[in-house]
Amino acid sequence: MVNASGLFNRFSCCYCHFVARTARVSPAILRLIARSAWHAWTLEDLQTGLASEGVNADFSSIFRAAEKLTAGGEVRKVVLDDGRARFELAGTHHDYLHCTACGELIAVPCVIEREACSALEGKIGIAIAEHQVVLSGLCPACRAAEVA
Ligand SMILES: [Zn+2]
Ligand SMILES: [Zn+2]
């Protein structure tokens, strides 16, 4: 027979442990990506970056912290064609160019005008809440390297 109160204590301990770890990892992720010019942090990048700062966190803690930051609007998540998420510091809306040479995500000014969205909504009877456009090509540095 399962001891109900024992079960509860075990879950509650796990939960406290989880919260404590996430509470430590989330601000460390924010600090890390705020300091860097890079916009295409994978979970693996975050883990490596945190480790280099002495914050050793397991993969699931980093995953949970990144999802929590995304849900809280502090971080924006972009899922690319390879199926892996990239994380960047949230800011005003912009679209993206994914560089096929170096893997960076370059912020580009929004490529869809509000009028175009409104026209589309009227035309096919939809309501657009948000969008995220990812162009693919070369970033300025890789383009310059190719031309040189
Ligand atoms: Zn590039
Ligand atoms: Zn846009």
In this predicted model, what pLDDT tens digit does every residue of 29-66 receive, in sequence order? 999 999 988 889 999 999 999 999 999 999 999 999 99
92-148, CATH topology level: Dna Ligase; domain 1 (3.30.1490)
CA of 30 to the centre of ligand 1 (A): 24
Instruction: Convert 89-122 to b/e letters by CB count within 10 Å (16 or more is b).
Output: beeeebbbbbbeeebbbbeeeeeeeeeeeeeeee
CA of 111 to the centre of ligand 2 (A): 5
Question: Tokens at residue 121, please?
Answer: 């909504």
Tens of pLDDT along 9-36? 444 455 555 555 567 899 999 999 999 8
Q: Which residues hold their Cβ within 5 A of ligand 2, which is an ion?
A: 95, 110, 112
CA of 98 to the centre of ligand 2 (A): 14
Residue 77 has pLDDT above 90, yes or no: yes
Residue 6 has pLDDT above 70, yes or no: no
Question: Mean pLDDT in the chain?
Answer: 86
- For the chain, the structural domain boundaries read 1-90, 92-148
How many other CB atoms sit within 10 Å of the CB of residue 21? 17
Question: What pLDDT, on the 0 to 100 scale, is given for residue 87?
Answer: 95
Residue 145 has pLDDT above 80, yes or no: yes
CA of 138 to the centre of ligand 2 (A): 19
Which class is domain 1-90? mainly alpha
The confidence band for 130, taking pLDDT boundaries of 50, 70 and 90, is confident
**Identical fold between 1-90 and 92-148:** no
Ligand nearest to the CA of 143: 1
